């Protein structure tokens, strides 16, 4: 069939295939009507819960239970709608008794989860920071669907109560867990602080004199010791100079006093004369050179006096002479080299004096006379006193030098001690700062815990309790019937078009013209034979019988597996009266 289809063609097809269109359409429509009448009613009860913010201003009291409302609502729903709670609720309310023998507990819980619907209620609110308005969840609806309206209301009320209780429980648990965690952290930091305090105390005991706070005192003490040392050194030099002066004075005084001559001059013994000449020689030698005529003369007179006195010895003279030569040698060595003639001459003189001293030491010596000159005794006493002062000053100088070394060691060790000390202090200050911060946070957490326990924080409030539904929400019977009607007509039309496409017979003059390529001369209508009429009537009766059988089978199935027909007719009449 190649002819172009138009509206007349479809009308002709509908006439030819009217039974193929009406049969499936009536069957599907009847099935949809039966289904709309057979399906049990489903009722829904809904509770509305308002999400209230805390009554106390957040500027004065902050809560530790943070997170978005949607997140908390999802977490609470996971607990409330969990398997354990739903199984307890099913057992408590006696739900789904007809499913317990056919399905497992998990399948029944899954069925109840499908019957429960949680729907957030959102609205546009202004952002406190001044940004544009955005959606915010201010409430939520919790609903339950079932066949028993009273039971549905009870279950919805129980679910709303579970949401309220779980919200309070979770917030209190969160606040308590926050307090416990912060208190444990605070105790750990406190133990750390005690440990650091012990380490700092031991460190101070081990480095008591090297602490950074004593550095200024150590520097001042070092400066004072330096001044004291300089003063002692100056005092020692002064005492040594005085001692040298006194020894020089002592060398010019005769320790023994003798009687005077007739001319009023004092006369002495040969030894006293020898001592006088020796003192004069030493005095001249101290101021003049060895080649000076006066020094040579005094040396000759001293030698003559020594012959007159005899083979006695004078260790003091030799010692003083050696000491004087060594002092001169030291002064010359500072400006002259070791090969200089004057240096070599002094070394030879010192060596000769040493030999003379050793020779004199081996010779017998007459006992010394006791000094009787008061001036000599006075100078001798001053020399002894000055020597003792020098020794005391030298002892003090040695003590101060030792103290300087000790304080120098302290100052040198202070940077290393300061580094370790500052490290301990930093750790302690950091721990102290953490402890103070945790103390504030613990206080805030305890206030938040009291806020949650007093139920003046963010909370759920039931503003619309669930009611017993009067009308079912499912099924939508008119929609099912209309859908069955549309589906039946569509199925019939589709079946007719399919059969028409598969049919290869020529039904119209247009089909013949399209097949032969020539227009027909005339169209003779089809005249059915009596046998064809009988066959057509038989097919009609068969079709009607099949439709009646389907309706009868549907009624039988409904009577056997759903409810008795009398009850079904009674319910149908009530529903029809309620609908129309």
Burial 539-558 (b: 16+ CB within 10 A, else e): eeeeeeeeeeebbeebeeeb
* pLDDT above 50: residue 260: no
Rounded CA separation 154/90 (Å): 12
What is the model's pLDDT at position 496? 77
Nearest to 162 by CA among 121, 100, 120, 118: 118
Residue 566 confidence class, pLDDT cut points 50, 70, 90: confident
Summarised one tens digit per residue, pLDDT across range 167-200 is 878 777 777 888 888 888 888 888 888 888 888 8
Q: Give the helix/strand (H/E) hosting 48.
A: strand 43-52
Cβ proximity of 258 and 266 under 8 Å = yes
Cβ proximity of 120 and 102 under 8 Å = no
* pLDDT above 60: residue 254: yes
* pLDDT above 70: residue 329: yes
Q: For residue 514, give both structure tokens.
A: 């399209």
What is the model's pLDDT at position 272? 60
Summarised one tens digit per residue, pLDDT across range 330-377 is 777 777 777 777 777 777 777 766 776 676 666 554 444 456 677 777
pTM, to two decimals: 0.47
Task: Please state, rounded to an integer, the average pLDDT across all residues of the chain.
Answer: 75
- Rounded mean pLDDT of 414-440? 84
- Rounded mean pLDDT of 40-46? 85
Domain residue spans in the chain? 7-39+475-579, 50-60+69-186
What is the model's pLDDT at position 415? 81
Q: Give the helix/strand (H/E) hosting 443.
A: helix 374-453
- Rounded mean pLDDT of 469-481? 79
Summarised one tens digit per residue, pLDDT across range 521-565 is 777 776 778 888 888 888 878 877 877 777 777 677 666 656 677
Cβ proximity of 304 and 270 under 8 Å = no
What is the model's pLDDT at position 314? 53
Rounded CA separation 299/349 (Å): 14
Q: For residue 284, give both structure tokens.
A: 């001249």
Give the residue with greater pLDDT, 39 vs 465: 465
What is the model's pLDDT at position 1? 41
Rounded CA separation 257/240 (Å): 29
Residue 518 confidence class, pLDDT cut points 50, 70, 90: confident
- Rounded mean pLDDT of 113-125? 82
* pLDDT above 80: residue 5: no
């Amino acid at each position: 069939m190649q002819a172009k289809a138009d509206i007349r063609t479809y009308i002709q097809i509908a006439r030819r295939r009217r039974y193929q269109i009406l049969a499936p359409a009536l069957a599907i429509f009847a099935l949809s009507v039966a289904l709309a009448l057979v399906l049990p009613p489903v009722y829904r009860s809904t509770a509305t819960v308002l999400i209230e913010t805390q009554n106390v201003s957040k500027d004065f009291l902050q809560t530790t239970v943070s997170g978005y409302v949607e997140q908390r609502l999802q977490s609470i729903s996971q607990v409330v709608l969990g398997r354990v709670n739903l199984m307890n609720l099913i057992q408590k309310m006696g739900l789904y008794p007809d499913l317990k023998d056919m399905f497992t507990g998990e399948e029944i819980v899954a069925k109840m989860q499908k019957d429960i619907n949680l729907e957030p209620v959102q609205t546009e609110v202004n952002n406190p920071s001044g940004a544009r308005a955005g959606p915010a969840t201010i409430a939520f609806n919790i609903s339950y669907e079932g066949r028993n309206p009273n039971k549905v209301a009870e279950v919805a009320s129980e679910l709303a109560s579970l949401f309220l209780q779980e919200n309070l429980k979770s917030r209190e648990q969160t606040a308590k867990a926050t307090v416990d965690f912060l208190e444990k952290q605070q105790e750990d930091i406190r133990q750390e602080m005690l440990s650091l305090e012990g380490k700092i105390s031991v460190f101070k005991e081990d480095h008591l004199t090297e602490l950074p706070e004593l550095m200024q005192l150590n520097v001042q003490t070092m400066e004072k010791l330096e001044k004291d040392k300089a003063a002692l050194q100056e005092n020692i030099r002064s005492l040594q100079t005085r001692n040298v002066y006194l020894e020089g004075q002592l060398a010019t005084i005769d320790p023994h006093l003798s009687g005077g001559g007739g001319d009023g001059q004092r006369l002495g013994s040969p030894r006293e004369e020898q001592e006088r000449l020796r003192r004069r020689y030493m005095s001249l030698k101290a101021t003049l050179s060895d080649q000076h005529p006066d020094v040579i003369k005094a040396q000759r007179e001293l030698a003559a006096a020594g012959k007159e006195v005899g083979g006695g010895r004078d260790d003091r003279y030799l010692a003083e002479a050696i000491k004087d030569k060594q002092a001169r040698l030291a002064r010359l060595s500072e400006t002259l080299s070791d090969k200089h003639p004057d240096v070599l001459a002094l070394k030879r003189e010192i060596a000769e004096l040493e030999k003379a001293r050793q020779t004199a030491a081996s010779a017998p010596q007459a006992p010394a006379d006791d000094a009787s000159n008061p001036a000599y005794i006075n100078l001798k006493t001053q020399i002894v006193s000055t020597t003792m002062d020098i020794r005391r000053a030298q002892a003090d100088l040695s003590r101060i030098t030792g103290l300087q070394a000790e304080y120098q060691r302290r100052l040198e060790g202070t940077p290393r001690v300061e580094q370790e000390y500052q490290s301990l202090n930093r750790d302690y200050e950091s721990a102290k700062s953490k402890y103070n911060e945790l103390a504030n946070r613990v206080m805030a957490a305890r206030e938040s815990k009291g806020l949650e326990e007093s139920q003046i924080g963010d909370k759920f409030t039931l503003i619309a309790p669930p009611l017993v539904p009067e009308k079912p929400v499912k099924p939508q019977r008119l929609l099912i019937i209309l859908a069955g009607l549309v589906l039946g007509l569509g199925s019939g039309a589709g079946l007719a078009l399919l059969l028409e496409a598969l049919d290869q017979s020529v039904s119209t003059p247009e089909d013949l013209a399209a097949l032969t390529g020539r227009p027909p001369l005339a169209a003779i209508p089809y005249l059915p034979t009596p046998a064809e009429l009988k066959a057509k009537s038989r097919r009609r009766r068969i079709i009607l019988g099949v439709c009646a059988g389907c309706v009868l089978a549907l009624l039988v199935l409904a009577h056997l597996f759903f409810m008795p027909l009398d009850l079904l007719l009674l319910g149908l009449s009530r529903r029809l009266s309620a609908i129309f």
